[in-house]
Every structure is written in C-alpha cells, then in structure tokens.
Amino acid sequence: MAGLPFDQRDGEIWYNGAFVPWADAKIHVLTHGLHYASCVFEGERAYGGHVFKLEEHTERLHESGRLLGFTIPYTPEQINDATVELLKRMKLVDAYVRPVAWRGSEMMGVSAQNNSINVAIAAWEWPSYFKPEERLKGIRLDQAMYRRPDPMTAPSRSKAAGLYMICTLSKHAAEAKGYADAMMLDWRGHVAEATGANVFFVKDGVIHTPDPDCFLNGITRRTVIDLARKRGLEVIERTILPEELEGFEQCFLTGTAAEVTPVSEIGPWSFQVGEITKTLMEDYDAAVRAKGGLAVEAAE
C-alpha cells in the first residue's frame, strides 16, 4: 500500500472510541479543525510491535489539546490501549502511528466553545523518513525563509497542526532546489530546528543544541540527550547563532520520523558524519528496539 493515497488504504482506524473501516474514517468539510487549525496530533513509531515512549506521546497529545483550549474526551490509558490494539488489528510490527484530535462541526466561526472534540488513531507501515542512501552519507539542508514564531504569538509548546504550515512551505521550497529539508531560524534570528526535527551540532567532542524556548522539545531530542550523557558526552542547550555553524564539525537531526539523521550540509556550511553522530545513531536504534525504554546497556 506504500504508493496509495492515504484515503484509499485498507484496514481500520480507531475513531471516537471504535474501530471503523479505514474508508469510513471521515470528517465533514465544515469541520472547525480544517478551517481554523484547531487540531493537535502526535507522530509515533512502533518497533517490533511496541510504540516507543507511547505514554509520553499520549501525555503530550493531551497537553497540546489543553494549550488549544480543549479537553480530549479519552483518558491516556484509553488512547494507549487503543493504540496497542490497533497495531494488532493492522498486523503491524514496524509502523508509524498518528493520533489526532480536533474540534468538530457544531459551530463554524472563530468561536467554537460548543464543538465536540474528536479523536482518531491511524497506523501504517513507513520506511525511513529520508532516503536511506542520503541518510547514511548525511542529508543536505537549505535555509528556510520562514521562521519559528515568538511564543507570545502562537502556542509553540503544542504539537498543533497550524504551526506546521510554514514547515510544509519551507520543506517544499527546499526540495524544489534539490535539498532534503530546511533549517529554520526563530523570530530572533537564532538557529531553531528543521521543518519536522530538532537539530544538534558537535564541536571538539561537545554537543550543542538550541534551547527549545519557541519550538517543541522533542521526545526523540530528550532521548538522544539522555543517551549522549550516558556516554559521558557533554550536551549544552543554548542560543546558537547562524554564524557559529561554520565552526561546527558534525550536525544531526532528531525526531520520531527522522530518528537520528546526519546532516552533511546546511546552505554554505558543510559537516562530517563523525563518530559521535554514528554512535548516537546506533544507541538510538538500540533504545527504540529495547522494550521498556532506553537500552542502557547499549549506552554504557
């Protein structure tokens, strides 16, 4: 089913408390989440039939809804149980999982206090986010035109659908020029992230990563920081200016979809796929395939 449009696939989707045929998981064209972006979601991956850090993802989904002013009408336990059952029903072992919650159609306008809150979970097979041959040698990033907004202008700590519009535009523009993705600055001109992944740099054996004060502090980001520190590596979270990129030796992205992906180029700046990046790729792969969390033995 890899090449099929997502509305034409087979299987089931968990939709407002029940498993329904994939083709029946529909919304009306006048849904508030479509018109006003009152929608939150998660991106999760299953390895060997188990979703990595499922509980953390579900907690963030609930928090994202709260930040958008609505309460998800299913407990974290109900959503977790539904996710596990969905993977079984879909007979998926290594998969991508997409929970999503949105305001319905009772009111159509900026105000939507009386709208129902809908929740769905879908899962499908999904290979590497970037082409394998690109990922191993390091992907190339363009410099995005759009910037991550001031958190006083958008709910930046929510994984909200509307926040990704500028990501789509930036990624499309990068791909049109032959790049795999784009690096975004924040509204102050500081290095922020890629369009759907956090970014790290390495210099003199020390790892540097932007302070996530206006974008998501990713679950994969936190996992990789933990893995690096278990290795005895120093990780510094700080403001990073674009002119500093010339002095960094390595660069990599982290995200549920991207996992740990080396970067060979950001605009005019070049990086090597060094040992620290390779080690964290291996440690992360071991962690996600170990039941019960971090693969401590792989990181000691």
pLDDT band with cut points at 50, 70 and 90 for residue 161: very high
Give me the pLDDT at residue 136, please.
Answer: 80
Of the candidates 229, 230, 277, 232, the residue with the CA atom closest to the CA atom of residue 254: 277
The label of the residue with tokens 């019960």 reads 292
Give me the pLDDT at residue 295, please.
Answer: 37
pLDDT, tens digit, for every residue of 71-105? 999 999 999 999 999 999 999 999 999 999 999 99
> What's the N-to-C CA distance of the chain in angstroms?
40
Measured between alpha carbons, how far is residue 193 from residues 143, 190, 221, 223, 251 in Å? 11, 10, 11, 16, 12
pLDDT, tens digit, for every residue of 213-232? 999 999 999 999 999 999 99
Looking at the chain, the whole-number percentage of residues with pLDDT higher than 90 is: 91
Contacts by residues 168-172 (CB-CB < 8 Å, ≥ 24 positions apart): 168/195, 169/145, 170/142, 170/144, 170/145, 170/146, 170/195, 171/195, 171/196
Q: Nearest 5°: phi and psi at 253? A: -105, 155
pLDDT, tens digit, for every residue of 249-269? 999 999 999 999 999 999 999
Domains of the chain: 6-124 (3.30.470.10), 132-299 (3.20.10.10)
Which residues are tagged catalytic? 159
Residue 24: DSSP 8-state: G
Give me the pLDDT at residue 293, please.
Answer: 43
The lowest-confidence range among 1-10, 215-224, 229-238 is: 1-10
